[in-house]
Chain A
Amino acid sequence: MTKNFYLNRRIWKRRLVGLALLVITVISIFPIATTILVSFKQQADITRKPPVIFPCDTPEQKFDIKACRWSVEGYQRVFAPKPDEGSLFGFKFTGNLLRIYIPNTLMYAFSTAFFVTLLASFSGFAFSRYHFRGHNALMAAIYAVTGVPLLTNILALYQMSITLRKNVGFFDDRMFLVFVYLGFFLPISVWIAKGFFDTIPRELEESALLAGCSTLGALFRITMPLALPGLISVFLLTFVNVWNEFIVAYLLVTKNEYKPAMFGLYDFLSQNIINLQVLAAACIIIAAPIVILFLFARKIFFKAMVEGAVKG
């Protein structure tokens, strides 16, 4: 009898915990759900007074599931499809978001993540395997650099970009932006990469060296493949960081053709103060790729996050 009572209590406790977690999860997803809801409303339902939450009311009834007026107007206005004979489906998207901003963001994010991973793996390897003079001081210096806030540097980088744009012929906003991102995300990535290299046993490389492999050969044939999961997480983390970055691009990019998605979204905000369905649709379109990427690769993200957080 007593045993049964305790068992029951335990089951009830677990059920309560599960219920609490369910409620918390629903609350935390709630703002996103409302955005999806708004993105499928039509203009007439958004600017109505008094406002309604669901666009489902009829003159007779307050809520009628059959009378819901869902529409894709917001998405339509973001994509702005125009008929075009040459395209695959008979029309092409003319909205700036899909035509300019998202491809730009993809380009920035891919190139920054690639170079960050490359350079961070080189120096992470060097810091992990060699103990040269000034090793610790250099590591500490790289760590200290993460303490310089982005906004402090932006002032100087902004002045730099103005000077360079005037004086250097081949200066390109895009190149400069990627370089700046590279500098911002490299220091912490070096630390993360070093942490991953530290977990790979040295004996493997040493035996490769004994077998006649060159040092660089050992790096590329033995160590890099083993460190690959770690390096992928550095890549993904940088990719997401660049994708989500706003202020640097906002201050350094001058031409509309070079704007990344977050900058474009901010422009949308000033153009569509009351067209909430357009704003919501743009938010969903920009956030969706990253969220989907995260859902598929969440373990990789968690790994790099904890590694980076504990170190810095």
Chain B
Amino acid sequence: MRSAKPRKPISYHLRKSLPFWLILPTLIVIIIVQVYPALYTIWLSMQARHATGWEYVGTQNFERLFGTGLFPESVGHTVIFLTGYALVTLTLGFVIAILLKQKVPFTGVYITLLFIPWIIADIIAGLIFRLMVTPDYGLFSGILQNPALFPPNGLSILTAARPAPWFGSFPFPPSPAMIYLILAASWRALPFITLLILAALQTVSHEVMESARIDGANLVQLTRYITIPLILPTMVVALFNLMLGGINGVGMVFSLTGGGPGTTTYVISYLLYVIGWGQLRFGRAAALALLIAAVNWLLILSVLRITRINDRVR
């Protein structure tokens, strides 16, 4: 029996389903490499390894994780790292972007050269900074370890002991190695942030600035009341980008300090590596991974909210 409708040619179906076929490979890859592992991590966070295999232990992994002293310490280190990292990078990025916007001669050359640190891998960047202060043999170890310049015993950044904490167990003030890590990480992230802010500065209209200037606003007022409010959304996006990179980036800790001296540069992502591959406690590491993922998601959701608000305003 024939259907009442005439059959559509096959090319029509193909054309209608074309977007599906175009997207399918991407979806398969993403499901295998991203979605399935994420679900597996959730499962893993409730398991513990036994001689025969995995066993369900409920929330025990989380409890044990919170119970160790390393976890709160690493969270403290991460907070300090992120604060320093964001402060240094955003401030310097803003200043450099303002300078670059003046369009003095050779600005193009400066931009290109300033960007080289961004293109260098985090593991190489860490190594470069390590080479400068390697105990005894580093290029500047001679100066830093000189007791006359840095009393009482000279300063060996990568082996200096942790200073006594001021507020209970919160690791503040940070160790010299942590400060150096912040410096190195900021060095690498600065170009990217500068470019973001510079791109936002270019959108600040010249007319607005000019009319404010004619009305008698000075440079500080111009910056405070026109430039900063207009580029604030970009600054927030930059801040979240930095936080995401700072929480997840681990390569520099590997090559610069290796978590040391002691545990003074254990950031949370390095702790994950240590628990998982150092202690081979994958269940507990999965619990930690879920916490990191939750923080990531919170950050990304906030970025989405802020950029969407920004779009609506426009």
Contacts and interface: CB of A to CB of B under 8 A. Distances in A.
B35 interface: yes
Interface string B239-278: 0010000011011001100000000000001001100110
Contacts of A312: 300, 303
A219 B292 CA distance: 40
Given A14-B102, A34-B131, A183-B30, A51 B254 contact: no
A186 B25 CA distance: 11
Contacts of A38: 131, 139
B204 to A, nearest CB: 16
A217 to B, nearest CB: 12
A184 B114 contact: no
B38 A153 contact: yes
B159 interface: no
Interface in B16-44: 18-20, 22-23, 25-26, 29-30, 32-38, 40-41, 44
Contacts of A49: 136
A295 B120 CA distance: 12
B116 interface: yes
Nearest to B282: A155
Interface in B148-200: 187, 190-192, 195-196, 199
B136 A186 contact: no
B297 interface: yes
A108 B26 CA distance: 19
Contacts of B289: 149, 151-152, 155
A301 B112 CA distance: 11
A204 interface: no
A51 B131 CA distance: 13
A182 interface: yes
B96 A24 contact: yes
Contacts of A144: 297, 300
Given A122-B25, A152-B289, A190-B26, A28 B40 contact: no
17 contacts: A17-B102, A24-B110, A25-B110, A28-B191, A126-B22, A132-B19, A132-B20, A156-B36, A183-B29, A244-B123, A246-B123, A246-B251, A247-B254, A262-B121, A265-B127, A305-B192, A312-B303
Interface of A: 14-15, 17-18, 20-22, 24-25, 28-29, 31-32, 34-35, 37-38, 46-47, 49-53, 119-120, 122-123, 125-127, 129-130, 132, 138, 142-160, 179-180, 182-184, 186-187, 190, 215-216, 240, 243-247, 250-251, 262, 265-266, 269, 273-274, 276, 279-280, 283, 286-287, 290-291, 294-295, 298, 301-302, 305-306, 309-310, 312
